[in-house]
A and B are shown apart, each in its own frame.
Chain A
């Protein structure tokens, strides 16, 4: 493969310049992200309304979540956002090796998050915290505590699905980057993938205090 064919720009025929294509793609991704904000926003609202109705059960529920694992996972996800931001920067410089390495690191941190979350779910399962017939609760308001755990599992679960999708997309982008598919002029897929990754991080930033930190002070 000669040097000149290695550096290519994939430009849609509806665009005049790579810059125009980049601006349109970023705005398209932001439109999608705003639908995601609405999706998670609705869940956050339902959570808040239910918590206002049953404050004690939600405090007790939060105390049964794993503080250390949740905090460690938040740090992991924040670090993955940093490596993703650095990857986007590297793609703008056209620096291929740092780009591939940073993307791999981002994926590894995302996988570590899912691993820790899975371990946490396993512990929740053993403690009989899954809502339903086998739910065991030796504190007040077992019915309402189940509501807390319903929100806990659904919201963290939906977040984990988003993160899994994110890892898949980053894997694809990493492969293309490794095959010299991006350079300083054409790096739009890296950029919009970064936007998605950061939004998934953003959702967790609000899940963490609401699910893990409520009612920690005795």
Chain B
């Protein structure tokens, strides 16, 4: 069911310079990948260290905040949402939009149960 095409027609090939076609599917440069990698490890050190600070109830907020920062870096630069096809934002965005509905509606229950003092409850 698949055709085998000599890629010479598509100007591809081993160890070739970037062609116009490749320019469309842009990849982050090497230095940016390495910078993101170092940032991720720095954020890991930050979250591991912050866990031992007396932050009280904000401890979880800081930990999840740093996790969101790490996830954003990976989504944008490693999964290439930043430079890749814009249409992918639709699917990726939909996934996280539904996830936020799941959490916001559920938490509007679980987090507010103590607010009203209902007799007999």
Residues of A within 8 A of B (CB): 4-13, 18-19, 22-23, 26-27, 30-31, 33-34, 37-38, 41-42, 45, 48-49, 52-53, 67, 71, 74-75, 78-79, 81-82, 84-86, 88-89, 92-96, 180, 183-186, 194-195, 198-199, 201-202, 205-206, 208-210, 213-214, 216-217
Chain B residues within 8 Å of A217, by CB: 51-55, 59
Chain B residues within 8 Å of A186, by CB: 7, 12
When the two chains form the complex, which single residue of A26, A45, A75, A79 contacts B84, counting CB atoms closer than 8 Å?
Answer: A26
B105 CB, nearest partner CB in chain A, Å: 10
Is the beta-carbon distance between B44 and A78 smaller than 8 angstroms? yes
Chain B residues within 8 Å of A27, by CB: 85, 87-88, 91
Report, nearest first, the 5 A-B pairs whose CB atoms are least far apart.
A185-B12, A34-B95, A209-B63, A82-B37, A213-B51
CA distance A5 to B8 in the complex (A): 10
Chain B residues within 8 Å of A94, by CB: 12-16
A32 CB, nearest partner CB in chain B, Å: 10
Task: With A8-B7, A9-B7, A205-B70 given, name 15 new contacts (CB 8 A).
Answer: A23-B85, A30-B88, A34-B91, A41-B99, A85-B77, A85-B78, A92-B27, A93-B16, A96-B14, A180-B14, A184-B16, A202-B71, A202-B75, A206-B71, A209-B63
Whether B102 sits at the interface, judged by CB under 8 Å, is: yes
CA distance A48 to B102 in the complex (A): 12
Chain A residues within 8 Å of B67, by CB: 205-206, 208-209
Interface residues of B in 79-99 (CB under 8 A from A): 79-80, 84-85, 87-88, 91-92, 94-96, 98-99
Residues of B within 8 A of A (CB): 1-8, 10-16, 18-19, 21-22, 24-25, 27-28, 30, 33-34, 36-37, 40-41, 44, 47-48, 51-55, 59-60, 63-64, 66-67, 70-71, 74-75, 77-80, 84-85, 87-88, 91-92, 94-96, 98-99, 102-103, 106-107, 110-111
Chain A residues within 8 Å of B19, by CB: 184
Is the beta-carbon distance between B14 and A82 smaller than 8 angstroms? no
Is the beta-carbon distance between B78 and A81 smaller than 8 angstroms? yes
Chain A residues within 8 Å of B94, by CB: 34
A10 CB, nearest partner CB in chain B, Å: 5
Chain A residues within 8 Å of B13, by CB: 7, 94, 183-185
CA distance A173 to B15 in the complex (A): 19
Chain A residue nearest in CB terms to B66: A209
Is the beta-carbon distance between A13 and B1 smaller than 8 angstroms? yes
Chain B residue nearest in CB terms to A95: B15
Chain A residues within 8 Å of B44, by CB: 71, 74-75, 78
